[in-house]
Structure 1
Amino acid sequence: MPSSTPVVPVHAVRHVLFDADGVIQVLPGGWYAAVEPFLGDRAREFLHAAWRDERPTLSGQGDFLPLLAAALAEHGVAEPAEVVHRAVWQRIERIEETFALIHALRRNGYGVHLGTNQERRRAEHMRTALGYDELFDVSCYSYDLGLTKPDPAFFIEAARRIGANPSAILFVDDGLANVEGARAAGLEAVHWEHTQGPAVLVDLLAEHGVDAHPPAR
């Protein structure tokens, strides 16, 4: 006689891994506006060059600050790299609506984790000044892993550090390529960015069996 007990999948999602920029945090006004006081109408050109220089440091290869200093000098900017990094790369605002959802997930018994591409100096600011080391159970920064999204290896290593089967982890990112990389590694994944609003994310999580509603009192 068939049992009436519901069958729970062996690897039901018990962990949610969040991207940072565009999901839990933003740069107020955007990157170009943050750079304009230093570069004026060359802000876009400068930023794209700086991002190219930054790319190896995202996987822990070298220090971004000397590269930023060289890019500033090349563009005729005398401002110290430390000042520009603080004014632009560290100009981060937490998205409190997303953090309210993260707190609800934790109260509902889920592990909540961070998976983000960051060079070391910006990551250290996030970990300390923004308090992310205390807010997340496991933090997976690309510079520390030596791997960057969307490489599936990033997500396999993240799952190892979380201590869970990849299929028990749901990843949230505003970049479709990163979502596809997570899926290739065996994670569940949803494509979402903060301007869609937290209610949309709650519904997307629910499609994967994840309850992000605040616990009933």
Structure 2
Amino acid sequence: MLFDADGVLQHRPGGWETAFEEWLGVRAQDFLHEMFVAEKPAMSDQRDAVEILAEVLQRWGIDAPAEEVFAAVWLRIEPDPASLALVRRLRRAGYGVHLGTNQSRRRAAYMRTEVGYDELFDVSCYSAELRLAKPDPGYFTRAAELIAAPAAEVLFIDDLAENVAGAREAGMAAIHWHLREGHDLLEKQLAERGVVPAGT
């Protein structure tokens, strides 16, 4: 089992837009769109995420230290209790549980230690550490190598359709699911693929 993080295991309390509405009001969504595009090189460790954020903040006229904004926004992570419980139930049922997520090196380090994912997952595949990012099929091929399982034996769960497509191109089975759809649906989709977590 290979789990995405944002939108599957965790979310940002209050959402992303609210973090910038103080400065930008209704333009917060446009700012975030630009930022998420700009930060893509950080996902494969080609650039530092805070340096990119500083440039975008400057372009938008936001006078705030990039380090502080990054910590207040990108490091404000709330794991979903039901998702974490499902991961633990899958482990009790004998499945390997692994993390497959696009993250900058800074956020990955925080998730490993402060959020506690190193203790929860068998193998963690952070894109910045692999220097490959979803939806590149090469990311999933490398993840399968790290997991030490054939891609065809890995079931991937992600909230973005393009990442699901990339996983399937690499030979993995994949489920397209978001937290807002509810865990009953996810467990039904798992059961359809013969995956049954241990009881609560």
Give the TM-score, by structure 2 length. Answer: 0.95
Secondary structure of the corresponding residue to residue 139 of structure 1 = strand
Report the counterpart of residue 174 of structure 2 in structure 1.
Answer: 189
Tell me, yes or no, if the aligned pair for 1:159 and 1:165 is still in contact at 8 Å.
yes
Match of 1:202 in 2: 187
1:146: Cα distance to partner? 1.0
Q: Over residues 86-121 of structure 1, what are the superposed CA-to-partner deviations in whole Å (9 max), with x where a residue is unaligned?
A: 111112110010111110000000000000111111
Runs of 4+ displaced beyond 4 Å: none
Q: 1:64 aligns with which of 39, 46, 49?
A: 49
Tell me, in whole angstroms, the C-alpha distance in 1 between the residues paired with 2:101 and 2:132. 10
Structure 2, gaps ≥5 residues long: none
Of 122, 147, 158, 2:143 maps to 158
Tell me, in whole angstroms, the C-alpha distance in 2 between the residues paired with 1:67 and 1:179.
Answer: 27
Q: Which residue of 1 aligns with 2:33?
A: 48
* SS of residue matched to 2:6: coil
How many residue pairs align between the two structures?
200
Q: 1:36 aligns with which of 21, 24, 38?
A: 21
Unaligned residue ranges in structure 1 (runs of 5+): 1-15
Please tell me the residue identity of whatever aligns with 1:89: W
Residues 23, 192 of structure 1: 8 Å contact kept: yes
What RMSD in Å do the two structures reach over aligned CA positions?
1.2
Which of the two has higher C-alpha Rg? 1
The alignment status of 1:175 with 2:131, answered yes or no, reads no
**Residues 177-199 of structure 1, C-alpha deviations (whole Å, 9 max, x = no match):** 11111111111111111112111
Alignment partners' CA distance in 2, 1:192 and 1:42: 28
CA distance in 2, matches of 1:88, 1:177: 25
